[in-house]
Structure 1
Amino acid sequence: MKEYKLQGLSCANCAAEMESEIKKLDHGEQSQLKFGSSKLMVNEDVDLERVRQILKSDGASLVEEEGHEHTHDHSHGPNMKLLVILSGMIFGLTFIVESMVPSFVVIAMYLIAMGISGYQTFLKGAKNLIRFKFNIDTLMTIALVGAIAIGEWREATMVAILFGLNEYLEGLGMEKARNSMEKLLKVAPKQATLLRENGTEVVVSIESLQKDDVVLVKAGEKIPSDGIVIEGFSSVNEAAITGESLPVEKAPGETLYGGSINNEGLIKVKIAKAYQDSSLAKILHLVEEAQDRKTPTELFINRFAKYYTPIIMVISGLVMVAPPLFTSASWGASFYQGLAVLIVGCPCALILSSPIAIIAGITRNARNGILIKGGVFLEQLGKIESIAFDKTGTLTKGEPTVQETKVYHDDFYKIAGSIEKSSSHPIAKAVMKEVETIQQALVEPTAVNAIPGKGIHAEIEDSMYYIGSEQTISHLTISEGQSQDIEGLKEEGYTLVIVSSDEEVLGVFGIADEIREESATLIKDLHKAGIQKTIMLTGDHEKTARKVAEKIGVTDVYADLLPDQKVDQVKALSRSRKLAMVGDGINDAPALATADLGVAMGKGTDSAIETADIVLMQDHLGKLPSAVKIAKQVNRVVKLNISLALGLKLFALLLTIPGWLTLWVAILSDMGATILVTLISLTVLWQKPGAQTEAINEEGEVQPSA
């Protein structure tokens, strides 16, 4: 399959019809015309000339030049805006001089104005009539011919001009949403400075980079692909990946994400992945694909539109013939009213009610570092009522830290640090982190031995010391106060690390998984955003889980869960209300897949991108409430758009009862609905001043918003 960029694609209904025509060509069965991203996928063996003809029939065309930059047309033809203005000026002039010149001159001027803005619609509609194909162009052509037939020259011209303006504005709104997405996609770098083995530098395209290549990245340049710093120090703007505006310091050995911007010094980077396998490439591909995944609402609208137009034509016919047959109404007036009903039947606003808002929502979330894999998942997120969280690594940092200490001897920290300083065990690292805050002088222990299931004993300055669980002090008699302290720490759900000698207990570390700083605020913000239940799922024992839950404010806790039990719990929770599952995208894959919606927190890891429906590209959940709010806003906008589109048309149709519906009122009702749904949809892109999001400038550079 070969991919082509399109220009001049402004009508979703027309795009679907053109796709249907292209699929009828030889080798065209698998063709896809993507209205959202304005792209065409066709088999290389398809007759491209025939494809061009089909596209041309609706004012669209292929953009075949590699890397060609262009501005999309906003309607049928590159100068539609100018044509509408010109025909409007001629119409205005004709209206002014109508009483001063012969009627044939007036008719000629109206025809010229009508032809300038409506000739393309007329030609397409005429072709469709011959093929008994009824769409918006067919309806408009019938209306124009009918108005001319009954001598309504001024009305016919007004219809042609307003319809041309409507088509232009419709395309303009869709293009605004597309352009916001395209600016986002421009964050991908184009070239890189490759450092060859002989030390020479050469500029190459990023597509040619291979794993283990070494590149030089100067200040202000983009990192070409995922890699590792092997030389140099700098700060990097990772907003293109994570949506975070604060720079991240990078030193040799640290990882980099493709598309990040090197803020300062020259760094040498070893490529970890070819660009097409990088996090950025996957993100951009998924974001682009997301535009064309239809939501249930969009699918319903498309099905409805298929029946909507024929129904309108039947209603139009009844309006034309029923009143004269059964009442004293004149045939001319009824015919005129029937033509107006045809115009009211244009489905443009209805079809546009969803896609612009969906693209705007996906784009705005992507700018925030929130990757939503399709409109269907955005719509689903807006319907979520409860969210379940894996505890470890999600609500907590996934690494043990000392939460509380009980000190009974001055040498407590010195002995603990001296024994644990050489250990790589996570708990030993937690102890050392705490010891370092006290700045104790450590000594080198001798005869260090591990006691399975207990801990470590070591000889320090001719005395024996122990560090580990309660079992390491089974040989000691401890005071009532120490016993109460130990029981209290256990009640708090802490893991105990006890330091003792042969004679006494020196002190106790109470260790637990550290809660993320943002977790409590996150839960509060989610409840404010309309989430009714926040649930924590964990394999930890009940006391530890309850302790964390109390601190962060989740509504429900399920502890002591094995992986398969976690999946069963997600299934059970999903039965009562719409449930999203949030995890790290690695260990939680089964639960993420089981929930109504899977949300992974991964900062660009492959597993996170591949597992979930939504990926938070940061290493925290701080932007999840924002994603929920945007999704709910999109759903509200789509419902409002549908109501407006159908409501205005229903209002216009009701005007036929007293005979007040005119052709220009009909086209204004259709144009008004189109303009309203477009403008309302574009409000999704609007960000409150001061919000912590990123803006993408015309060159695709990431810039913090003001």
Structure 2
Amino acid sequence: MSTEHHDESEPKSCGSCEHGHDDTPLPRNALVIASGALLGAGMLLQWLKLGPPLLHTSCYALATLAGGLLVFPAAFKALKKLRLDMNVLMTVAVTGAWLVGEGAEGAAVVFLFALSELLESWSVGRARRAIAALLKLTPQTALVRGADGVAKEVPVAEVTIGSEISVRSGSSIPLDGEVITGASSVNQAPITGESVPVEKKPGDPVFAGTINGEGSLTVRVTKAASDSTLARIIKLVEEAEEQKAPTQRFVDKFATIYTPAVFGVALLVALLPPLLMGGAWSEWTYRALVLLVIACPCALVIATPVSIVSGLTALARRGVLIKGGAHLEAVGKLRALAVDKTGTITQGRPQVTGVIPISDMTEDEVLRRAAAIDAHSEHPLAKAVVAAAQAKGISWSESTQYQSVTGRGATAVIDGHPHFIGNHKMAHELGICSPEIEARLTEIENQGQSLAILGHTPHEGCEGKILGILAIGDTMRPEAANALTLLHDAGLEKVVMLSGDNQRTVDAIARQAGIDEAYGDLMPEQKIEHIKRLMAEHQYVGMIGDGVNDAPALALASVGIAMGAIGSDTAIETADMALMQDDLTRVAEAIGLGRRTLRIIQFNVAFALVVKAIFLILAFTGHTSLWLAILADTGATLLVIMNALRLLGGAKNLK
């Protein structure tokens, strides 16, 4: 089956076959129904012995013509290109059946072959409709606010970046943008697979195709309709479906050699026994025709692409995008995984994890004074201190005479007294560390956390002292430990952390998460060396990163996986697999579905080959007929399709 994109009512047939129905105004469904009805009528009349034989023959002929309109023109095109495909194979078989006086079987061959092609197109259409349905979620118009504040309905394609649009409660958001007024919960399931609506307030991003909840929002458009997150997802899935998996490429290559070979064998079956052994021409011609029908590799050719399309679609529903069948097969073969730390295993933003008063101060007072100094700074650790104070509702008076001390911390005057906040080195240099303080600082650092020491700065008449210690860490994602368990359960032999952070911090996070090996203080080129080592040991290795800083390692790995692609314009472009939300458990789901897809493909290919082998033997020995041959081929194709489509339903139940 070609994975090119057509209207779902007009897909190509399996292999490289082309259908003649493109040249006829009659829809495929009507032709298949007409062929089946005429075949049934002819068989019923013949069985009941109603009407003259000419009537029966006419029904079979019309049935052959109706089904043949989907086969014969495509066979003619293939012959013009000097190519033998399944349409040619079927045309020869049908023509031969009529020539040896088996019009009923000729009509049955055409009908059942056309029916199998219809089932194939339906199966692919079903998989693609799951993605096409996303388009229906996006309104075709948007309410654009004019300079006078009045909203006017405008086609989304004409809305420019920077425009302000109104999104009413309960309606779909038409374009990507940023909330400027209003607050609401938004159902992002169509994009990220999240089951719980996400609260949105001014400054938060919203995405086309998501559904606004109870509030009314005013949104500033940040992307054109053609460049929205939803549009990129649909484009990615379409491109992914066009990329053939290794198994599919092998089967397609096999079919191009196999089909002409079958013609040669059928010709020998038809000619050699009558010429060399005095066999009946009609009998051996019939056996050759049966051989041609049985040899039709429909089920074999369709075994891989329907499975791949179903697997890609199932994961897209869950907010996991994979760029093609080759990458889906690689995901199913993963044996080891390398992960970045910051933003992957951890939240990617420092947070105050503990406040330790050293004097008689309360935790809130330590936070108040620390925030009064750090409010002047844009340093990530300083921001974490200020955020912690704000989260507890602590207010502070502005400090004065603020000075940043590079590589150490900062000083400022609070309530007339000089204070400092800084690192371990700053406390040492001020000469106010004690063995007790050293023990506490070492304990915090051994946990892989940073620290901020608050104290009185030594000055005239004051020796200075430490007032409190703030432990600051990049906290682990809440789902990380469970995700690592699921990854091992999915069959991964090793999970390794590769980070540019210091080794002590990396070791601490690895212990908490349950990671097998952890390497810190790595430059990008050193990460590549570790990926090469893992690939030498395990062959198929995945790498999870942010899609930008880890680009070299992502590119080298068997499967590069980008975290939180919904927030990054470059992540989808960089990686082979993109997680639309920051949820590590989806990696285990993807590996599980990739393995299941591989098993289904392997079963489908083996099943198709076994059915072919059995009926080829029966054809040689004269123990089958055109009826049984086409029923076996159609049955095998139908079973292969149904088996592959189980992947679509399976995505709903992945845990």
Query: Normalised by the size of structure 1, how large is the TM-score?
Result: 0.84
Asked if residue 485 in structure 1 is aligned to residue 440 in structure 2, the reply is: yes
Separation (CA, whole Å) in 2 of partners of 1:101 and 1:449: 107
Q: CA deviation at 1:202?
A: 1.9
Aligned residues of 1:126 and 1:141 also touching (Cα < 8 A): no
Contact kept in structure 2, 1:406 and 1:485, CA below 8 Å: no
On the 8 A contact 1:7/1:60 being kept in 2, the answer is no
Contact map agreement 2:242 2:324 (CA 8 A) in 1? yes
Q: Say if 2:583 is the partner of 1:589.
A: no
Residue in 2 that maps onto 1:680: 643
Give the letter aligned to residue 450 of structure 1. S
Q: CA 1:129/1:427 → structure 2, altered by over 3 Å: closer, same or farther?
A: closer
* TM-aligned CA distance change 1:684 to 1:464, over 3 Å: same
Match of 2:187 among 215, 227, 237: 237
Counterpart amino acid of 2:325? G
From the superposition, tell whether residues 281 and 87 of structure 1 become closer, same or farther in structure 2 (CA, over 3 Å).
same
* Matched residue type, 2:380: P
Aligned position for 1:97: 48
User: Which residue of 1 is the match for residue 37 of structure 2?
Assistant: 86
Alignment of 1:610-649 (within 5 A): 610-649=573-612
| Deviating more after overlay: 337-346 vs 149-158 | 149-158
124-133 vs 224-233, which deviates more?
124-133
Among 237, 250, 255, the residue aligned to 1:300: 250
Match of 2:175 in 1: 225
Tell me the SS of whatever aligns to 2:28.
coil
Verify the 8 A CA contact 1:94 1:109 in the aligned structure 2.
Answer: no
Distance (whole Å) between structure 1 residues aligned to residue 639 and residue 582 of structure 2:
39
Letter in 2 for 1:12: S
Matched, 1:653 2:607: no
CA distance in 2, matches of 1:146, 1:262: 62
Match in the other structure for 2:452: 497
SS of the residue aligned with 2:619?
A: coil
Name the counterpart of 1:53. Answer: none
Indicate conservation of the 8 Å contact 2:446/2:508, yes or no.
Answer: no
Instruction: Report the Cα distance in structure 1 between the residues aligned to 2:640 and 2:464, rounded to whole angstroms.
Output: 79
The 5-angstrom pairing of residues 216-295 of structure 1 reads 216-295=166-245
Q: Match for 1:419 among 350, 363, 370?
A: 370
| Aligned CA distance change for structure 1 residues 454 and 655 (closer, same or farther; 3 Å) | same
Contact between 2:43 and 2:56, CA under 8 Å: does it hold in 1? no
> What are the residue-to-residue correspondences of 1:538-577 with 2, within 5 Å?
538-576=499-537, 577=539
1-side partners of 2:190 and 2:640: how far apart? 30
**SS of equivalent to 1:354:** helix
Most deviating of 332-341 and 277-286: 277-286
Matches within 5 A, 1:122-161: 122=72, 125=75, 133-161=83-111
- Aligned equivalent of 2:571, options 600, 604, 608: 608
Please name the residue that 1:332 is paired with. 282
Provide, for residues 52-96 of structure 1, a one-character-per-residue CA deviation record: whole Å limited to 9, x for no partner. xxxxx6102699xxxxxxxxx9xx724034214412431331342
CA 1:605–1:571: 2 relative to 1, 3 Å: same
Match 1:207 to one of 143, 147, 157: 157
**Which residue identity lines up with residue 248 of structure 2 in the other structure?**
E
Is this contact kept in 1: 2:332–2:595, CA < 8 A? yes
Q: CA deviation at 1:127?
A: 7.2
Offset at residue 505 of structure 1 (A): 2.9
Pair 1:418–1:194, CA change in 2 (3 A): same
Tell me the alpha carbon deviations over residues 165-204 of structure 1, each in whole angstroms, 9 at most, x when there is no partner.
3233233223222322322343333111111113333211
Match of residue 451, structure 1, among 384, 405, 408: 405
Provide the C-alpha distance between the structure 2 equivalents of 1:206 and 1:598, rounded to a whole number of angstroms. Answer: 34
Take 1:372 and 1:215, find their aligned partners in 2: how far apart are those partners?
A: 32
Unaligned runs of 5+ in 1: 19-56, 64-72, 693-706
SS in 2 for 1:382: helix
Cα-Cα RMSD:
2.9
Say yes or no: does 1:349 pair with 2:316.
no
Which residue of the partner structure matches residue 670 of structure 1?
Answer: 633
Q: CA deviation at 1:227?
A: 1.3
Aligned to 1:372: 322
**How far is the alpha carbon of 1:382 from its aligned partner?**
1.5
Alignment partners' CA distance in 2, 1:378 and 1:580: 12
Q: Number of residues paired by the alignment? A: 639
Q: Which moved more, 1:308-317 or 1:439-448?
A: 439-448
Give the TM-score normalised by the residue count of structure 2.
0.90
- Offset at residue 512 of structure 1 (A): 2.0
Deviation at 1:468, TM superposition (A): 1.4
Counterpart Cα distance in 2 of 1:386 and 1:445: 52
Q: Is contact 1:8-1:60 (8 Å) kept?
A: no
Aligned match of 1:187 in 107, 113, 137? 137
Please state whether the residue corresponding to 1:147 is helix, strand or coil: helix
Aligned equivalents of 1:383, 1:106: Cα separation in 2 = 55
Q: Deviations over 1:28-51 (max 9, x none)?
A: xxxxxxxxxxxxxxxxxxxxxxxx
| Counterpart residue type for residue 604 of structure 2 | N
Shifted more, 450-459 versus 435-444: the winner is 435-444
- Does the CA contact (< 8 Å) of 1:192 and 1:204 recur in 2? yes
Distance 1:134 1:470, change over 3 A: closer
Mapped partners of 2:73, 2:521: distance in 1: 70
3-state SS of 2:623 partner: coil
1:443 and 1:457 map into 2 onto residues whose CA distance is: 15
Instruction: Please tell me the residue identity of whatever aligns with 1:93.
Output: L
Pick the aligned partner of 2:422 from 443, 468, 480.
468
Deviation digits for residues 471-510 of structure 1 (CA, Å, limit 9, x no counterpart): 3333556554433222222333322222233454333223
Q: How many Å apart are 1:679 and its aligned residue?
A: 0.6
Q: Which has the higher helix share?
A: 2
Contact conserved, 1:534 with 1:556, CA < 8 A, in 2? yes
Match of 2:22 in 1: 60
Deviations 1:507-527 (A, max 9, x none): 322322111111111111111
Which residue is equivalent to 1:396?
346
Residues in 1 aligned to 2:80 and 2:252: alpha-carbon distance in whole angstroms? 24
Shift of 1:618: 0.8
> Which sits farther off after the overlay, 355-364 or 76-85?
76-85
- The whole-number CA distance in structure 2 between the counterparts of 1:688 and 1:509 is 44
Shift of 1:311: 0.7
CA 91–556 in structure 1, closer or farther in 2 if over 3 Å, else same: farther
Counterpart of 1:570 in structure 2: which amino acid?
I
Correspondence for 2:459: none
CA distance in 2, matches of 1:350, 1:156: 23
CA distance in 2 between partners of 1:363 and 1:691 (Å): 14
- State whether residues 416 and 467 of structure 1, in contact with CA within 8 Å, keep that contact through their aligned partners in structure 2: no
Distance 1:480 1:127 in 2: 89
Letter matched to residue 605 of structure 2: I
Residue identity opposite 1:509 in structure 2: L
Return the offset for 1:262.
Answer: 1.4
